[in-house]
Amino acid sequence: MSGKIIVCDNGTGFVKAGFAGDKFPTTTFPSVMGRPMLRAEQSMDTSIKLKDIMIGDEAAAARSMLQMSYPMENGIVRNWDDMLLMWDYTFREKLGVTDTTDAKILLTEPPLNPKKNREKMMEVMFEHFQFEGAHVSIQAVLTLYAQGLLTGVVVDSGDGVTHIVPVYEGYALPHQTKRLDIAGRDITRYLIKLMTLRGYAFNRTADFETVRQMKEKLCYVAYDLPLEQKLATETTVLVEQYTLPDGRVIKIGQERYEAPEALFQPHLVDVDSVGIAEVLFNAINACAVDNRPDLYKHILLSGGTTMYPGLSSRLEKEMRQLYLERVLKGDTSRMRKFKIKVEDPPGRKHAVFVGGAVLAESMKNNPVFWLKRSDWQEKGVRILDELKM
């Protein structure tokens, strides 16, 4: 396996991993660990062989018998021991790289990630896995690379956190980057709450996975909220049936648009913030005035939570309203000349990985790009400051 370059995008919800130059991740699996419960409340499924620690798809499949835990919360590693096990599983089991001493790795991190988090990540890569070289890239910048752009605003919403990152000429602008603590996991929790109000009982950690799958299949963003509310109260067109893993069939109606509405109205999930459109508007308007038109033209969606049908058109509509009211003071004639475009590329679920694979391939022989194991052994964590990493 000499000289392999691994690209690993560790999300709060999913790990996407593969190799430099790949068009798709070799493996995508849930960032979840499962440990057998002492007393499983369901009849034991004998077809599943339980191990002391189960990771990813294995854990998801046996979730009714496991205590589930997530090593990452809001894009930040909370449990390093579990994270190490997950990386080990990724490299050895999923990618088939058993010897990492002559391999390099490109890792991703969210913007505004604590420095300690990056230092610890590098320490694990060099001291435990003994990688020859490593590099950490900011996710939003990789999303733009995947689209062949250097300038734009990335609205990156995954399972743990939503970031709005203006990028100019390939550099993320940290002071203008905004964070919204609502993402996929919060919408799933909110959907559980809404379904509970409908009379269904969801409680165990295992049900969380079930509701997440239902959310991905049936939820959407309302373009015209009053119209959807009218349809929900006066007709049954929104009602869909969904079969649970245990065979029960449940009905879901207005909850399909009510759950993702939390992105636009954070107070619904008790988050004290303006909605995603206003956060985006504020981020662009915090940038230099000459750069704003380019940013408004290239608003790029990225991450699994941007996959809802209707999200891009609703976001574009709200951005236009905000621009008209706050910048043009209601002058509709000037609005016609101004371009606001929200792009939702079809591969946006894996855009960060694809951008990372492109970057790693183009930089594979560039010695300045990679932090070397020998430098780390000599200087330790100080090297990150010297290289401004």
Q: Is residue 54 part of a domain?
A: no
Residue 385 reports pLDDT greater than 60: yes
- 162: in domain: yes
- Residue 1 pLDDT: 38
Q: Are 82 and 71 in contact (CB under 8 A)?
A: yes
103 Cβ partners below 8 Å, 6+ apart? 1, 3, 4, 5, 6, 97, 131, 132
> Structure pTM?
0.90
Task: Examine residue 354 and state whether it is found in any structural domain, yes or no.
Answer: yes
Please determine, for residue 120, whether its predicted confidence score (pLDDT) is greater than 70.
yes
193 and 287 belong to one structural domain: no
Per the structure, the complete domain to which residue 170 belongs is given by: 152-181+274-344
CB atoms within 10 A of CB 23: 11
Q: Are 308 and 259 in contact (CB under 8 A)?
A: no
Amino acid code (one letter) for 116: K
Q: Provide the pairing of β-strand 299-302 with 342-343.
A: parallel
Number of domains, the chain: 3
Supply φ then ψ for residue 312, to 5 degrees: -65, -40
- 87 and 12 both lie in a single domain: yes
CA distance 184 to 190: 10
278/336 same-domain check: yes
Does residue 38 lie within any of the structural domains?
no
Where a domain ends, among 206, 231, 263?
Answer: 263
| 376 in any annotated domain | yes
Q: Give 121-160 pLDDT, tens digit per residue.
A: 999 999 999 999 999 999 999 999 999 999 999 999 999 8
Query: What band does 39 get if pLDDT is binned at 50, 70 and 90?
Result: low
Q: What is the pLDDT of residues 287-336, one digit of tens each?
A: 999 999 999 999 999 999 999 999 999 999 999 999 999 999 999 999 98
- The residues pairing with 250 across neighbouring beta strands, listed in sequence order, are 242
In a shared domain, residues 176 and 188: no
- Strand order across the 66-69 sheet: 54-55, 33-36, 66-69
| Statement to judge: residues 359 and 212 lie in one domain | no
Q: Is residue 42 part of a domain?
A: no
pLDDT (tens digit per residue) in 128-138: 999 999 999 99
CATH number at residue 251: 3.90.640.10
Residues 100 and 243 in one domain: no
Mean pLDDT of the chain: 93
Q: Is 270 left (phi over 0), alpha (psi -120 to 50) or beta?
A: left
Alpha-helical regions (H) of 128-246: 139-146, 184-197, 205-218, 225-234
Q: Are residues 85 and 121 in the same domain?
A: yes
Q: What is the pLDDT of residue 18?
A: 98
Q: Quick check: 297 and 319 in contact, CB under 8 A?
A: no
Could you say which of 204, 234, 263 is where a domain stops?
263
From 262, 234, 230, 237, select the one nearest 251 (Cα to Cα): 237
Regarding whether 325 and 210 lie in a shared domain, the answer is: no
For residue 351, what are its two tokens?
Answer: 């855009």
Please check whether residue 46 lies inside any domain of the structure: no
User: Could you tell me which residues come within 8 angstroms of residue 127 by beta carbon, excluding any fewer than 6 positions away?
Assistant: 376
**Cβ count near 253 (within 10 Å):** 18
Q: Contact at 8 Å (CB) between 26 and 19?
A: yes
Calculate mean pLDDT across residues 240-245: 94
111 and 210 inside one domain? no
Over 60: is that where the pLDDT of 40 sits? no
| CATH of residue 26 | 3.30.420.40
**Cα-to-chain-centroid distance, residue 190:** 18
Q: For residues 292 and 280, give the distance between their C-alpha atoms in angstroms, rounded to a whole number.
A: 12
List pLDDT tens digits, range 78-113: 999 999 999 999 999 999 999 999 999 999 999 988
The reply to whether 210 and 163 lie within a common domain is no
Question: The tokens of 85 are what?
Answer: 């096990």
105 and 11 within one domain: yes
The pLDDT-based confidence of 386 (bands split at 50, 70, 90) is confident
pLDDT at 389 over 80: no
Region 225-231 average pLDDT: 97
What percent of the chain lies above the pLDDT cut of 90?
84
Asked if residue 41 is part of any domain, the answer here is no
Regarding whether 188 and 175 lie in a shared domain, the answer is no
Tell me the mean pLDDT in the region 38-48: 59
